[in-house]
A and B are shown apart, each in its own frame.
Chain A
Amino acid sequence: MKFDKKGQLCGQNFSCFSRDSSLKRSEFSRSSLLLFSSSLKKKGAMGEGVLMVYRLLLVSFIAFVILGISSVFYVQYIDVRDVEAKILTRNVVECISPNGTIDINSFSEEDKSNILSYCGFDESEVERFYVEIEVTDPKGSIKLSQGDSGALWVLSIFKNNRAVEGLKKYESGYYNETYPVAVIREGDTLKGIIKTKVLVKDEL
């Protein structure tokens, strides 16, 4: 390439340009290069931002995983269901046999299957309990209960050591006891016994 006499730039494969126009062209190409590089920088900055979000999400995820594992590791389970079963047994026995005397005729058929409601417990508060009381005297026996009797079947799995170690914490609270009682049946006062089974299913 060389400038001819007229001050034009001539090449082998392109036509001649004046000195001014070649200058303009070089300025144009420089500015377009700058524009191109600035758009690249913008794209790079955007990419960097996206990468930062990804890194932060990764760090947060790792932190939450460690926190989750440590919270499971440090959790303590304090089981008071056996004590609750014992307290409920005492409350129910005191309710149905005040002063150690139980009047068989005071229970309707509905009361017999809703003994906790009969004793004044709120139904929503005793959903996790199963209560079974058997009153026996020389002339016969009656059964009073409330709750899901299937819970006793679940308890038998734990009692027979059929549950694996990890499941043992789900074993229900249980208390059974037999008390001597005076039974009033058809006007007669008889010696009898109360057999209680109280089960607390789950701990909230």
Chain B
Amino acid sequence: MEKHAEMLNQIIVHLVLIGIIFSLFLFATAGKINSRGVRQQVIEKEIALLIDSAVPGMSFSVDRNNFDGIIQDIKIDEGKVFVTVAGLPSVRGYPYFSKYSVKVSAEDDKFIVSVK
């Protein structure tokens, strides 16, 4: 009886641990499949190209509720654009080569990117 209980205990521990591993794996795969990374890449590159094309005094707005997903944050750091889309923070960012200074300000439903 005791042996059976021990075996059952071990099986349950196994199943729980394997379940945790596979749920982490499924979440990571779902993250890839729902293409948040691709949409993030699209927005970052679009913004970088707009910054490169802009001349001083120009500014453009990016809606939070974007076609490519809900944008939580846009950051400019060391010549790179970092965009957080649908909860996915940007790790690498995308570089722009504009020689002008760039600033981002957040408003209620949009971000304003200004080139000075």
Contacts and interface: CB of A to CB of B under 8 A. Distances in A.
Interface of A: 48, 52, 55-56, 59-60, 63-64, 66-67, 70-71, 74-76, 78, 80, 83-84, 87-88, 91, 119-122, 124-126, 129, 204
B5 to A, nearest CB: 14
Contacts of B96: 125
Main SS class of interface, A: helix
A60 B33 contact: no
Contacts of B35: 74, 76
Contact of A119 (B17, B22, B25, B99): B99
Given A76-B35, A129-B97, A204-B95, 4 more contacts: A80-B49, A87-B52, A124-B79, A125-B97
Interface in B48-106: 48-49, 52-53, 79, 92, 94-97, 99
Nearest to B7: A48
Contact of B97 (A48, A71, A121): A121
A52 to B, nearest CB: 7
Contact of B95 (A74, A75, A125): A125
9 contacts: A52-B13, A59-B22, A63-B21, A70-B32, A76-B38, A78-B45, A119-B99, A121-B99, A204-B94
Given A80-B49, A120-B99, A71 B32 contact: yes
A76 B24 CA distance: 22
Contacts of A48: 10
A52 B95 CA distance: 46
A67 B14 contact: no
B94 to A, nearest CB: 7
B97 A78 contact: no
Nearest to A94: B55
Interface in B10-56: 10, 13-14, 17-18, 21-22, 24-25, 28-29, 32-33, 35, 37-38, 41-42, 45, 48-49, 52-53
A84 B49 contact: yes
A82 to B, nearest CB: 11
Contacts of A124: 79
Contacts of B48: 80
Contacts of B45: 78, 80
Nearest to A120: B99
A203 B42 CA distance: 13
A101 B52 CA distance: 23
Contact of A56 (B18, B41, B99): B18
B92 A204 contact: yes
B21 A60 contact: yes
Nearest to B79: A125
A67 B30 CA distance: 10
